[in-house]
A and B are shown apart, each in its own frame.
Chain A
Amino acid sequence: MKKLLLIAGGALGIYLVIVLLIAVFPAIDLSGTPAGPGVKPLTALQAEGRTVFVANGCSYCHTQQVRPLDEDKVFGRPSAPGDFAWQTPELLGSERTGPDLANVGASKPSDVWQYIHLFDPRAVVPESIMPNFKFLFHVVDQVPLGETAVPIPAGFAPATGKVIPTRQAKALVAYLLSLKQTPIPGYVMKGSMGGVTSAAPMAKAEPASAAPAGAYQYVASKGESLFTANCSACHQATGMGIPGAFPPLKGNAAVDAADPTLHIRTVLQGAHGVIIGGVKYDSAMPPFAGQLSDADVADIVNYERSSWGNHARPVTPTEVAAVRAKGP
């Protein structure tokens, strides 16, 4: 009896102390983390969308945490403690079979894109291995009043009928679009790896407009890579866009114009409700000024101006800097 009490009781007692110190007490402390500037609780519809997100296990392939590492910059700024004040359950995730979603509401702000992508991910990202979520949509012969049909590209649309989102799909998209990082002035992640290790290349990010003008040389492969990472989800690798949803870049007057100002400004500042080739596009294009340097923007613009039969003159980072300086 005494021996068993010593072993079992001792093991249990020590464990309890450790658990309180390493898990429960820190958790009590962290549960009180105040919300960061501008971080708001979800609306009822967004919260409903989060339950759809959770029920279908989205976080098994998508993280919602941006690390203070160079490789994560593409997903946004490093996540801050205040970002998670309203996030219960926490959906930080553990795998990136698909991209991080911490800032997806800002990087993919178009609900139409989200609907098409959920209905059939391969309609907008041919190489995607995300399952389709067609069960979140109805196919109807006649679009009911107050509903809008999703413009599914030909080849991915059902043979007959129109695709409309269910309430669950609407809630899910409302949630996804709510995932926007709020700016934190002067935010520097305290725990950045700085100097701790050299395994990950920690090249200092060049300030937005520091690239010396003379040093720039357009490399097509870099332009294509940046285009793939930032633009092709909507405008497509073919430059054809998605009819009725996202405008083509091929033969696009702004892209193929001699004066690159509008083209550059659109990449930097985004666009909404523009008319291209007589068609009005309601989808919002996000601004890229915050995450792409002048040289990156020049690479993308030059790639677009020299692909798919476009033949406009190349631009330099200096020109991008000039448009950037003028602001929106």
Chain B
Amino acid sequence: MQAGAAAPRAIGRADDDHALTAVFTAYVTTATIWLVIATAVGLLLAFKFGAPDFWAAKYLTFGRLRPIHTNATFYGWASIGLVGVAYYIAARSCGTRLYSTRLAWLGLALFNLAAIAGTIALDLGYNDGDLEYREWPWPIRLVFLAALLITGWNLIGTVLRRSSEDIYLSNWYTIAGVLWTCVIATVGVLPWYQHGLGQVAISGFYMHNAVGMWFTPLALGTFYYAIPKILSRPIYSYALGVFAFWTNLLFYPLLGAHHFLFSPLPWWLQTTAIVFSVAMLVPVWGGSANYLLTMRGRYRDMIHSYPLMFIFVGVIGYLFGSTQGTVEAFRSMQAIWHFTNFTVGHSHLTMYGFVTFALWGGIYALLPLATGKTAGRIGLAAHFWMALVGSFIYVISLSIGGTVQGLDWVHGLPFIQSVVDMQPYYVWRGVGGMLMFGSHLVFAWNVWRMTSGQPGNAASPVLDASTTAEATA
């Protein structure tokens, strides 16, 4: 009787694994397609800074492609990819199957439907007011909200099935991130309090919360699962992770108005934003320390593990990018950097150096565990180094250029001088962008190998204790 019950259970588990792998694979694959599309557009945009008359036709004009680049990166690549990783982490860390595979597929369809419809709408000129990161027409944003609700429902359902009493920290971050973003999407879409200056207040809130209460928690959740998994050791401090979770929740939502320093928004709102931009150092440094201390003593293992390298860069990107955000938020700094390309450098340091590297690390660490297939070391190396060097060139050139731009203004030079002075930095940004885009093509190839390729002979992303420095030390 018992043996008879165990056999179907084993078969059932194999089916569950299969279903989970299929879901994870599909999310990663569509996310990768969005990354390639979004950054191809980004590269074209970078080129247009030097050749403004190149492809200046209606459907290829800069102002239509720019929101396509940002929204496809945000809601195509990062959102879909992170949700795929979150599903895998939820099922595995809870030792259960997904609450509903069907809902996961439905969510994926809705995420992609929203991104496709949003991209087409923006190209046709249906832009909801140039309001950053919520440019898609509102019905399309409701589709995205529906996908979020389904995801939240499904993640919660999965965690409710867990075999242990405890809820692993990663799931705190991912579930809360999805729930918070449902609130953000709702607040962003309701019209009643969004007239004139009221809408400015919502824009400040929206554009920073959509980043910091969505991508940040999901990427951090990925860190909390992937780092211990790769290193086969627990996170340094669970309590510190919990502390960072609650402080992030208390501080982050309040700093949105720092996008509108010196604007006609109430001065108290701007000052509040600055104060909490500084307070963010607490969860950022606490969280980063937690990851770095988990890796302590095992840094040499990065030689064996590109997934760990990606994650390490992601952690450093989080630490530097967020700290830079705090520094930028001061009025004295904003007087120089606001409206300049420094901000563009900052957004790429965070969305790329932090979120995208974190997601790559998560995918490289976890997807092979699901599919049993690995990408070759050469592919991983090519992706890593091109992306790293490319983003360095990108961020550094725009940081210097943005500072020059800001100082030109402070010194009262004719405005056009700042345009002229930016030219060499735009060229370098394009060079960096080209490397980054090239690395995405390699990444797409790697994803293909991890999903559709031959079962690999390359090393598992999980570092076996016998091969690591710790064991030999």
| Residues in A lying within 8 Å of B, measured CB to CB | 1, 3-4, 7-8, 11-12, 14-16, 18-19, 22-24, 26-33, 54-61, 63, 65, 67-71, 74, 79-81, 83-99, 121, 125, 127-135, 190-191, 193, 196-201, 225-226, 228-229
Contacts and interface: CB of A to CB of B under 8 A. Distances in A.
Interface centre among A18, A30, A65 (most CB of B within 10 A): A30
Given A7-B167, A65-B264, A201-B410, A135 B57 contact: yes
B267 A190 contact: yes
Contacts of A88: 129, 194-196, 199
Interface in B163-209: 165-167, 172, 175-176, 179-180, 183-184, 187, 192-203, 205-206, 209
B180 A12 contact: yes
B201 A30 contact: yes
| Binding site secondary structure of chain B | helix
Given A56-B64, A200-B335, A200-B410, A191 B262 contact: yes
Contacts of A74: 412, 415
Contacts of A71: 335, 409-410, 412
Contact of A90 (B175, B197, B257, B419): B197
B414 interface: yes
Contacts of A18: 249-250, 253-254
Given A30-B201, A57-B62, A90-B199, A200 B332 contact: yes
B263 A31 contact: no
Contacts of B61: 56-57, 131, 133, 135
A63 B67 CA distance: 16
A90 B129 contact: yes
B156 interface: yes
B14 interface: no
Nearest 8 A/B pairs, CB to CB? A57-B63, A89-B129, A31-B198, A55-B125, A199-B332, A67-B262, A229-B414, A23-B205
A27 B194 contact: yes
B335 to A, nearest CB: 4
B112 interface: no
Nearest to B173: A11
Contacts of A92: 200, 203, 260, 263
Interface centre among B49, B253, B259 (most CB of A within 10 A): B253
Contacts of A61: 62-63
Contacts of B165: 3
Contacts, number: 265
Interface in B129-167: 129-132, 156, 159-160, 165-167
A57 B127 contact: yes
B267 A15 contact: no
Interface of B: 48-50, 52-53, 56-58, 61-64, 66-67, 125-132, 156, 159-160, 165-167, 172, 175-176, 179-180, 183-184, 187, 192-203, 205-206, 209, 213, 245, 249-250, 253-254, 256-257, 259-260, 262-267, 269-270, 272, 330-333, 335-336, 338-341, 343-344, 409-410, 412-417, 419-420
B408 to A, nearest CB: 9
A154 to B, nearest CB: 18
8 contacts: A18-B250, A22-B254, A31-B194, A54-B129, A56-B61, A67-B263, A90-B131, A200-B410
A155 B52 CA distance: 17
A123 to B, nearest CB: 12
Interface centre among B198, B209, B336 (most CB of A within 10 A): B198
B290 to A, nearest CB: 18
Contacts of A70: 410, 412
